[in-house]
Amino acid sequence: MDYDELLKRGKSGIPEQMEEKKRFEIPAVKKHTEGKKTIITNFNDICSTINRDPDAVAKYLLRDIGTAGVRADGRLILNGSFTNDELNGTIKKYVDNYVICKVCNLPDTNIIKVDRIDMIKCDACGASYQIKM
């Protein structure tokens, strides 16, 4: 067999379009409604996936959607009825602002305090920059 035949044979075993799998995927919100309250049942899973403190994420969510709520037993209980799209959109906005590095676009970041200033420190590229919480 010559090179061209081997190359054709090798290419024939490869699918046309390889599926791209992201390393970092935010879990979709799992919620249910009880009366006038919306309960996010997988709140702790979301927080552990994005590597952030559940209290900080809850504070952002409550402020962004403009309601009161409380954390209990790994869940977040919100006053009011909210759709999955609203909740997923708010979490995506949090991730874009406070998790994804603005320099390398990777999620390998931590929030640190330097002289009472909140900063994001990227473990992947080493960048650090100030954020407003």
Q: For the chain, which residues make up each domain, given as ranges?
A: 25-99, 104-133
**Nearest to residue 94, comparing CAs of 41, 128, 43, 23?**
43
The pLDDT of 77-95, averaged and rounded, is: 94
**Which range is least confidently modeled, 10-19, 30-39, 64-73, 82-91?**
10-19
In one-letter notation, the amino acid at residue 14 is I
Topology (CATH level 3) of domain 25-99: Alpha-Beta Plaits (3.30.70)
**Which residues, including other chains, have CB under 8 Å from residue 110's CB and lie 6 or more apart?**
51, 120, 121, 123
Q: What is the pLDDT of residue 11?
A: 80
Q: Could you tell me the pTM of the whole model? A: 0.79
Q: Judge whether residue 119 has pLDDT over 90.
A: yes
Q: What is the pLDDT of residue 15?
A: 67
Q: Judge whether residue 19 has pLDDT over 60.
A: no
**pLDDT confidence band for 81 (50 / 70 / 90):** very high
User: How big is the CA angle at 55 (ends 53 and 60), to the nearest 5 degrees?
Assistant: 100
